[in-house]
């Protein structure tokens, strides 16, 4: 029981002798009393406040009664034990006083009961206060729980053992256009399902049967997909007393996952490798697509930190590449393109086309580089072949020009040597010399025709050829073109 050393008592009595009698008994019972006597309704109301531990009232005063005082106390909603101390009162009156809310009633000639009556009344007040606090805390907790659950986008419902809804949050009601209160007492499958029994694989039903949390994904006929989770609620002995169903629509998430999966598939089967590296020494790799295996590396190997990006660049190209990046950044170009040689795991050298973007943090400092690399080794080989072909074409043009001019000169030589031979007889001493000049001119003309054919400046005539004779005629020119280190065996 509660025992106060100091007792604050408001005494509603009209006679001083009665007040002194009550005070003597309180002091004898061990209380140090702080008290005030009031005689009228006005005085009573003027001093009625929560600071009093107890009110000791006479049943009937000349202008005021205990019942009136009790009603005024209750009107102000003050929880102060109200004990009636009177000369005499009938049993019916006493019962009525207790029924109206009095803590106890005593006769003035039996004040020995005053101490236990006060202690019991104060103990009941303490218990009421604790109960009131517990109820307030519970109400606050329920309100907070309801506020939290109503703020959730997930559909939350609490079921009994028959899977009838006992409580549902706002999202659950909004999903079917009803106030949450109208879901109470109904089966969940009647509201969200497609029949008169639990959905196949219902996680709430499974949670009831297994006693363990369950989850599943269900796609309805309208195409929407839901993630449904069921949780058994157990008491201290482990017995299931109810079930919680939490449902979240994941239609958009599933679509995004599908798009992501398809994108990943495209990337993994494309020649383009995606990468992301930190803007630190060596450019440690934070992300790389799985198709980096085309260069002999695994993604796990590169993400381990043991192989930074800088070690993949050919050492002869690394200084140029790093300087180009610094130049790009200095010009304010956060997106740039480079070509350099790339080392495969087995030591081969590949050319790559690198398209990178610098990623800046909140303060504007570059934190990462991300982009793509594409193997362009074959393109580089074709470019080299094309350049060589261009060189050969230039050589051909030069040879054709020289052959054309030289052919003009030979025409004069051949014409005049032919005219000279016609004016001379075979026995003439000059005939053989001029004949040799004419033969040499013909051979030179044949050579210029071959050069013109090589440069594709001469119109070619389609006719049967003696390949042996043609090859014999080309032998001397080919020998000069091929060089001394090549043997031409005809």
Taking only the tens place, the pLDDT of each residue in 204-225 is 989 999 999 999 988 877 788 8
Annotation: CATH topology of 270-375: Beta-Lactamase (3.30.450)
| Residue 469: both structure tokens together | 């004779």
pLDDT at 489: 72
Annotation: CATH topology of 6-130: Rossmann fold (3.40.50)
The rounded distance, in Å, linking the Cα atoms of 251 and 337 is 39
- The percentage of residues in the chain with a pLDDT greater than 70, rounded to a whole number, is 90
pLDDT at 478: 64
Question: pLDDT by residue (tens digit) across 374-395?
Answer: 999 999 898 888 887 777 777 7
pLDDT at 59: 85
pLDDT band, residue 483 (cuts 50/70/90): low
Domain boundaries, the chain: 6-130, 152-254, 270-375, 381-482
pLDDT at 157: 92
pLDDT at 374: 93
> What value, to the nearest 5°, has the Cα angle with vertex 176 and ends 175 and 178?
110
The answer, yes or no, to whether residue 82 has pLDDT greater than 90, is yes
Cβ–Cβ < 8 Å for 104, 116: no
Mean pLDDT score, 338-360: 94
Between 337 and 5, whose confidence is greater? 337
Question: pLDDT by residue (tens digit) across 57-79?
Answer: 988 888 888 889 999 999 999 99
Strand partners, 6: 32
Between 462 and 406, whose confidence is greater? 406
Mean pLDDT score, 362-375: 92
Mean pLDDT score, 97-123: 88
Closest among 192, 195, 209, 179 to 248, alpha carbons compared: 192
pLDDT at 459: 55
Same fold? 270-375, 381-482: no
Question: pLDDT by residue (tens digit) across 253-302?
Answer: 888 888 888 877 777 778 899 999 999 999 999 999 999 999 999 999 99
pLDDT at 451: 67
Cβ–Cβ < 8 Å for 83, 121: yes
Question: pLDDT by residue (tens digit) across 419-428?
Answer: 888 888 888 8
pLDDT at 47: 94
The answer, yes or no, to whether residue 322 has pLDDT greater than 90, is yes
If one looks up domain 381-482 in CATH, what number appears? 1.10.287.130
pLDDT at 1: 46
Mean pLDDT score, 31-52: 93
- The percentage of residues in the chain with a pLDDT greater than 90, rounded to a whole number, is 43
pLDDT band, residue 456 (cuts 50/70/90): low
Mean pLDDT score, 321-338: 94
Q: What is the pTM of this model?
A: 0.46
pLDDT at 4: 52
Closest among 252, 250, 249, 243 to 188, alpha carbons compared: 243
Between 206 and 153, whose confidence is greater? 206
Mean pLDDT over all residues of the chain?
85
Closest among 159, 142, 369 to 275, alpha carbons compared: 369
Specify the residue for token string 């031409």: 488
Task: Give a three-class secondary structure readout of the chain.
Answer: CCCCCEEEEEEECCCHHHHHHHHHHHHHCCCEEEEEEECCHHHHHHHCCCCCCEEEECCECCCCEHHHHHHHHHHCCCCCCEEEEECCCCHHHHHHHHHHCCCEEEEHHHHHHHHHHHHHHHHHHHHHHHHHHHHHHHHHHHHHHHHHHHHCCCEEEEECCCCEEEEECHHHHHCCCCCHHHHCCCEHHHHCCCCCCCCCCCHHHHHHHHCCCEEEEEECCCCCEEEEEEEEEECCCCCEEEEEEEEEECHHHHHHHHHHHHHHHHHHCCCEEEEEEECCCCCCEEEECHHHHHHCCCHHHHHCCCCCHHHHECCCCHHHHHHHHHHHHHCCCCEEEEEEEEECCCCCEEEEEEEEEEEECCCCCEEEEEEEEEECHHHHHHHHHHHHHHHHHHHHHHHHHHHHHHHHHHHHHHHHHHHHHHHCCCCCCCHHHHHHHHHHHHHHHHHHHHHHHHCCCCCCCCCCCCHHHHHHHHHHHHHHHHCCCCCCCC
User: What is the CATH architecture of 152-254?
Assistant: 2-Layer Sandwich (3.30)
The answer, yes or no, to whether residue 338 has pLDDT greater than 60, is yes
| Residue 371: both structure tokens together | 């982009």
Closest among 316, 361, 372 to 343, alpha carbons compared: 316
The rounded distance, in Å, linking the Cα atoms of 51 and 34 is 11
């Amino acid at each position: 029981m509660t025992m106060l050393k100091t007792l604050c008592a408001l005494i509603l009595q009209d006679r001083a002798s009665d007040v002194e009698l009550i005070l003597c008994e309180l002091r004898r019972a061990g209380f140090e009393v702080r008290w005030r006597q009031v005689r009228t309704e006005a005085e009573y109301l003027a001093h009625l406040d929560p600071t009093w531990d107890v009110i000791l009232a006479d049943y009937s005063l000349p202008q005021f009664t205990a019942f009136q005082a009790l009603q005024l106390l209750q009107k102000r909603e003050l929880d102060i034990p109200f004990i009636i101390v009177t000369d005499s009162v009938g049993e019916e009156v006493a019962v009525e006083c207790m029924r109206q809310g009095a803590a106890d009633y005593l006769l003035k000639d039996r004040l020995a009961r005053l101490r236990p009556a006060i202690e019991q009344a104060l103990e009941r007040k303490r218990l009421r206060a604790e109960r009131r606090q517990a109820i307030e805390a519970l109400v606050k907790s329920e309100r907070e729980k309801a506020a939290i659950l109503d703020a959730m986008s997930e559909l939350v419902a609490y079921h009994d053992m028959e899977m009838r809804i006992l409580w549902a949050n706002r999202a659950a009601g909004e999903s079917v256009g009803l106030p949450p209160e109208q879901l109470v007492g109904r089966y969940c499958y009647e509201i969200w399902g497609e029949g008169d029994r639990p959905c196949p694989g219902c996680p709430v039903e499974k949670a009831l049967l297994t006693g363990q949390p369950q989850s599943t994904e269900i796609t309805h006929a309208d195409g929407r997909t839901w993630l449904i989770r069921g949780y058994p609620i157990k008491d201290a002995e482990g017995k299931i007393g109810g079930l919680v169903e939490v449902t979240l629509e994941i239609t958009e998430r599933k679509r995004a996952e599908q798009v992501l999966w398809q994108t990943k598939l495209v990337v993994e089967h494309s020649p383009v490798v995606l990468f992301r590296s930190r803007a630190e020494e060596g450019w440690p790799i934070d992300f790389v697509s799985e198709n980096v295996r085309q260069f002999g590396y695994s993604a796990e190997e590169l993400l381990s930190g043991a192989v930074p990006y800088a070690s993949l660049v050919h050492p002869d190209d690394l200084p140029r590449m790093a300087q180009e990046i610094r130049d790009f950044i200095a010009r304010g170009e956060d997106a740039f393109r480079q070509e350099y040689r790339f080392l495969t795991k087995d030591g081969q050298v590949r050319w790559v086309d690198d398209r990178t973007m610098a990623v800046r943090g909140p303060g504007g400092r570059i934190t990462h580089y991300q982009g793509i690399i594409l193997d362009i080794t074959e393109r580089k080989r074709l470019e080299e072949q094309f350049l060589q072909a261009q060189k050969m074409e230039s050589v051909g043009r030069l040879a054709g020009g020289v052959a054309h001019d030289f052919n003009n000169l030979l025409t004069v030589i051949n014409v005049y040597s032919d005219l000279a031979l016609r004016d001379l007889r075979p026995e003439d001493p000059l005939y053989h010399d001029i004949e040799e000049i004419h033969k040499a001119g013909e051979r030179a003309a044949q050579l210029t025709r071959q050069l013109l054919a090589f440069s594709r400046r001469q119109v070619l005539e389609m006719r049967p050829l003696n390949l042996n004779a043609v090859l014999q005629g080309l032998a001397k020119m080919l020998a000069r073109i091929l060089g001394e280190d090549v043997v031409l065996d005809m």
